[in-house]
Structure 1
């Protein structure tokens, strides 16, 4: 048993989870993780399983065989400078590592809850991933673990804070609200509110519903706004909106 598998087994033994429950939550058979640890099958964990285990066990994805995280650095004095193409940024697929421990990045890219949003500075060629330019990080948000844990099981580094723009999600969300987006949760399941990248490369926050024949309905909660639908491969899901910060 190599070091990776030893660390994974130790983390599971020290957690409230079992190999079987984690395997089922990953959509695999109950013996999947046990076979990986004890028999080395599969040789490498797929990305969706690494994301799940990282969120549930608090292990960095790099310790589970993932690539090294893209580290975001930001300097408020540099916010106005032009972003160079392909400049390293903040990925929704790896934990955020900023200046402050256990911080969530406040993304300076509005999520359109009306017609259109703002294009992301960078994108990953992955169905469920996007990359924000480092300059898009306007600051960091910190919540105590117990408070964040009331809304999501994800660690702070996998939660992004995104501002809402537009009125198509009224009364669920209002323009100017900030939503906390769990980037480890990209499964539509029974539906919910998600931040997505649409086929035109715009960031939207919409309610998603599965349709027959592999299509997804993009729903506006405001009845005055139209809904739409796309083939699943036409959109990218950034993550599920699990909480909001708003005025009262």
Structure 2
């Protein structure tokens, strides 16, 4: 895609990004435009001049993975960009920065708890199912799902919060727990 088309995409005149690349004007892209471009190009905002996060902010990798709240999707596990989250939010969620990642939810099987387009903070160090269960991101075969899991010995109950979706009982060995969903990131 040409720079002129990208300029129009962010709501600027067609020479805007050409001037940014060739002349360095503006010196820094505004956050909204930088984020739109990073999302569209599937790159980290740092490549477009995003400032380094201060010490009280953690740059958490936002993966291209879409955890299906539905039948599942084959994952694309590249890092799209980083999501800057306050260190206190990670501490409050009980997630170590090195175990944290952000992924998107797609589908409606976990509604109303999780909606299509929501983002989740996933704790990859929490791969062991809690005795009373919880919401986890799991790999089942070639697909990645986000579901409510309840362990029953060597079996696991896979539940959707949407009552229209069936409850499944499968051997625990059939799934790989990627991590626990610890924080819902929803844009209002």
SS of the aligned residue for 1:148 comes to helix
Instruction: Please say if residues 66 and 75 of structure 2, whose CA atoms lie closer than 8 Å, have aligned partners that are also in contact.
Output: no
SS of the aligned residue for 1:167 comes to coil
Which residue does 1:115 correspond to in 2? 71
Deviations 1:134-163 (A, max 9, x none): xx21100122211221112x2222111010
Which residue does 1:149 correspond to in 2? 91
Which residue does 2:129 correspond to in 1? 188
Which residue does 1:172 correspond to in 2? 113
The equivalent position to 1:241 in structure 2, one of 164, 181, 184, is: 181
The alignment's C-alpha RMSD in Å is 2.3
SS of the aligned residue for 2:93 comes to coil
1:150 to 1:76, Cα distance in 2 relative to 1, 3 A = closer
| Dislocated runs of 4+, deviation >3 Å | 75-80, 99-102
2:160 and 2:39 map into 1 onto residues whose CA distance is: 34
Which residue does 1:53 correspond to in 2? none
SS of the aligned residue for 2:126 comes to coil
Structure 1 position 137 matched with structure 2 position 93: no
1:186 and 1:202 map into 2 onto residues whose CA distance is: 17
1:158 and 1:116 map into 2 onto residues whose CA distance is: 23
1:76 and 1:173 map into 2 onto residues whose CA distance is: 21
1:139 and 1:223 map into 2 onto residues whose CA distance is: 34
The count of aligned residue pairs is: 139
Instruction: Report the TM-score, using the length of structure 1 for normalisation.
Output: 0.51
Q: CA deviation at 1:229?
A: 2.1
1:203 and 1:141 map into 2 onto residues whose CA distance is: 21
Instruction: Please say if residues 136 and 148 of structure 2, whose CA atoms lie closer than 8 Å, have aligned partners that are also in contact.
Output: yes
Which residue does 2:144 correspond to in 1? 203
The equivalent position to 1:215 in structure 2, one of 148, 151, 155, is: 155
Q: Where does structure 2 lack aligned partners over 5 or more consecutive residues?
A: 1-37, 44-51
- Give 1 or 2: higher strand fraction: 2
